[in-house]
Amino acid sequence: MAVPLSQMFTVTKYVLTQKLKGVKRYPLVLMLEPLFRCNLACAGCGKIQYPDHVLDKRLTPEQCWAAAEECGAPIVSIPGGEPLIHPEMPEIVRGLIARKKYVYLCTNAILLERKLDEYTPSKYLTFSVHMDGLKEEHDRAVCRDGVYETAVRAIKAALKRGFRVTTNTTLFDDANPERVRAFFDEMMKLGVEGMMISPGYSYQKAPDQQHFLKRHRTRELFSKILGNRKPGWRFNQSPLFLEFLMGKREYQCTPWGNPTYNIFGWQRPCYLLQDGYARTFRELMEETDWERYGAGRNEKCADCMVHCGYEASAVEDTFSSWSGLSRTVKATLLPNAR
Amino acid sequence: MTDAKYHTPEDQTLQGRVFRPSSTTELREAIEQAFDYRGDVALELTSGETVVGYVFNRDANGAVPALELFPKDLPGVRKIAYADVVSIAFTGEDTASGKSWEAWVAKKESQRRAESEQVAAAARARGHL
């Protein structure tokens, strides 16, 4: 795992504390969406299809900090929309860092290079750059030429200034395993701390409805991509989650593991589905019928294998028993073992 | 009811349609459609008022079933009881229509055809075709 020791320690301490307290459902990562406005319109994204007056709404820094405190998760991921469009994003990030949250600031990197002056390198701050493959694949995924080159320049600039940088990759059924592996090589060559990968979710509102992955195809694809893994590849994800993607192990979804807060409130049940909103985090956790969601329980979840639901399942597996911990150690040290 | 079916096929949009429910069941279904719609709607209320905005939440099982809406031209959130809704018109653009993807694909295909034609023309000029 490509994560600083301090972050690993913080997360481990947090999870073990929840276990010792007997907390059945606890959040690992707060998905904080301060805005939906974006400067791209990706084919597989269902996050930005709103009227203009909704796209113009923003969470305030105070709302963001309150959500982080209410939730209590040690990690805060800030997806979008495009977070760097938010004029108060530097302040939001500073406030989260002051609260000792590990922040993953997601971005398509179009604005990143020119915005770097507004941020200070910190072990708590990671720029998570949306990169869906090599140039041809990425520009196609984001529906705009030149974005790949812009992102690469921004990654180099951020790394040069001492920022933590990861990539975040969503794959669809047209992904070419060899090209994806070559992409991993390229990102490691760039010097990013680690990579995050996930199959795309079948957003009903996404423009492209033809290329979402079915479960069996996800397993086939990720087995080809992650099989015979190169030693130089570093993933910022649980190794058990990667094995889940490859079909080596089964998990049920843990939707409460990555609760989402945005301009509408606390989103039920997860980052991907929009089945209503709760006014408070407590209401979300206590008054959501969690048993209605997950593969085999809800048709909208049937093909989902996305990290925001299953990464938490993998972490839960790791910390639930000695055998889980053992599996994680083995998967970390021997990723290519059968 | 203006329309016989509430559930629009995936290749069709609700934009421009009007639902005037005649029962509680129809009302609930219409509000579900409004909640799922990615554009503004116009709600005619029993008071005679018309409220235009984006429906982002609904609670059909609460003590008083209600929806929540961002008014188009006003700040804040408006909460409206189901029982107060007379009709729902899908007036705003369906922002999930996928035009951006279609436009980009069409542009790329056009560019590729143009490039192909250029290459072919150059080859013909050299006598290779």
pLDDT in tens, A275-295: 999 999 999 999 999 999 988
Task: Give A178-183's long-range contacts (Cβ < 8 A, gap of 24+).
Answer: A179/A133, A179/A134, A179/A137, A180/A133, A180/A225, A181/A225, A181/A230, A182/A134, A183/A131, A183/A133, A183/A134, A183/A137
Which among A130, A77, A72 is positioned nearest to A308, based on CA atoms?
A: A77
Span A184-232, pLDDT tens digits:
999 999 999 999 999 876 655 555 666 666 788 889 999 999 998 999 9
Q: B31, B56, B73, B108: best mutation site toward chain A, by most A Cβ within 10 Å?
A: B56
In this structure, of A136-145, A165-174, B90-99, the range with the lowest mean pLDDT score is B90-99
Per-residue confidence band for A338, with pLDDT thresholds at 50, 70 and 90: low
Q: Sign of the C-alpha dihedral, residues A229, A42, B114, A149?
A: negative
Contacts of A43 in chain B (CB under 8 A): 101, 104
Query: Is-contact A213 A303, C-beta < 8 A?
Result: yes
More confident call, B118 vs A123? A123
Query: Is some CB atom of chain B closer than 8 A to the CB atom of A276?
Result: yes
Residue B33 pLDDT > 90, yes or no?
yes
Contacts of B59 in chain A (CB under 8 A): 276
* Torsion angle (degrees, nearest 10) of CA B53, B35, B91, A208: 120
Handedness of CA A38, A44, A46, A51 (dihedral sign): positive
CB atoms within 10 A of CB A98: 10
Q: What band does B4 get if pLDDT is binned at 50, 70 and 90?
A: very low
Judged by CB atoms closer than 8 Å, whether chains meet at B95 and A51 is answered as yes
Best-predicted range by mean pLDDT (A161-165, B96-100, B103-107): A161-165
Contact B70 A54 (CB under 8 A): yes
* Residue B111: closest C-alpha in chain A: A145
Is residue A153 predicted with pLDDT exceeding 70? yes
pLDDT in tens, B44-94: 999 999 999 999 999 999 899 999 999 999 999 999 999 999 999 999 887
Chain B positions in Cβ-Cβ contact with residue A81 (cut-off 8 Å) = none
Q: What is the mean pLDDT of residues A113-126?
A: 97
Query: Which residues in chain A are closer than 8 Å to B100, comparing Cβ atoms?
Result: 41, 143, 207
**Residue A5 predicted with pLDDT over 60:** yes
Q: Please state which of the ranges A89-93, A332-336, B28-32, B102-106 shows the lowest mean pLDDT.
A: B102-106
CA angle, A174 then A175 then A181, to 5°: 165
**Is pLDDT at B111 greater than 80 in this prediction?**
no
Q: What is the pLDDT of residue A17?
A: 95
CB contact under 8 A, A50 and B54: yes
Considering only CB atoms, A277 lies closest to which of B10, B57, B98, namely: B57
pLDDT band at A63 (very low <50, low <70, confident <90, very high): very high
Predicted confidence (pLDDT) per residue in B5-15, tens digit: 333 444 467 88
Q: Which residues of A touch B108 (CB under 8 A)?
A: 140
Percentage above 90 pLDDT, chain A: 71
Residue contact B10–A209, C-beta within 8 A: yes
Mean pLDDT (chain A, rounded): 91
Chain B residues with CB under 8 Å of a chain A CB are 10, 35, 38-40, 53-54, 56-59, 68, 70, 72-73, 92-93, 95-96, 98-102, 104, 108
How much of chain A exceeds pLDDT 70, in percent?
95
Cα-Cα-Cα-Cα torsion A12, A13, A19, A23, nearest 10 degrees, comes to -110
Higher pLDDT, A161 or A331: A161
pLDDT at residue A1 greater than cutoff 70 = no
Interatomic CA distance for residues A26 and A255, integer angstroms: 10
What pLDDT sits at residue B3? 34
Nearest CA in chain B to A207: B98
Best to test chain B binding among A48, A56, A137, A143 (most B CBs inside 10 Å): A143
Contacts of A268 in chain B (CB under 8 A): none
Residue B118 has which token pair?
A: 């250029």
Count chain A–chain B contacts defined by CB atoms under 8 A.
Answer: 61
